[in-house]
Amino acid sequence: MMPKTKYVDIYDDLKKKIEQKVYQYQDYLPSENTLIIEYQCSRNTLRRAIGNLVNEGYIQTKHGKGARVIYQEFKENEYVFGETETFKEFAIRNNKKHRTDIVVFEKMVVDEHLHKHTRFPIGIEVYHLKRIRFLEDNPVIMDYNYFRKDIAKELTIEIAENSIYEYMDRELNQRAVTAKRKMIVERVNELDEKYLKLDGFNSVVVVTSHVFNADGVMFEHTQSRHTPGNFVFFDQTQRM
CATH number of 205's domain: 3.40.1410.10
Same domain as 196, residue 111: yes
What would you report as the CA-atom Rg of the chain, rounded to the nearest whole angstrom? 19
Same domain, 160 and 209: yes
Q: Does residue 140 sit in the same domain as residue 213?
A: yes
**139 and 179 both lie in a single domain:** yes
- The whole domain housing 146 covers 79-234
> For the chain, what is the domain count?
2
pLDDT for the residue numbered 3: 46
Q: Per-residue pLDDT for 214 more than 80?
A: yes
- What percentage of the chain's residues is helix, strand, coil (to nearest 5)? 30, 30, 35
pTM: 0.68
- Read off the pLDDT of residues 9-59 as tens digits, 9 standing for 90 and up: 999 999 999 988 999 988 999 999 999 999 999 999 999 999 989 888 889
Answer whether 109's CB lies under 8 Å from 123's CB: yes
Alpha-carbon 169 to chain mean position: 12
Say whether both 116 and 227 belong to one domain: yes
Q: Please indicate, yes or no, whether residues 128 and 24 belong to a single structural domain of this protein.
A: no
Torsion of CA 215, 150, 110, 147, to 10 degrees: -70
Planar angle of CA 70, 75, 79, nearest 5 degrees: 95
Q: Domain for residue 1, yes or no? A: no
Over residues 149-182, the pLDDT tens digits come to 999 999 999 999 999 999 999 999 998 888 888 8
Q: Same domain, yes or no, for 89 and 196?
A: yes
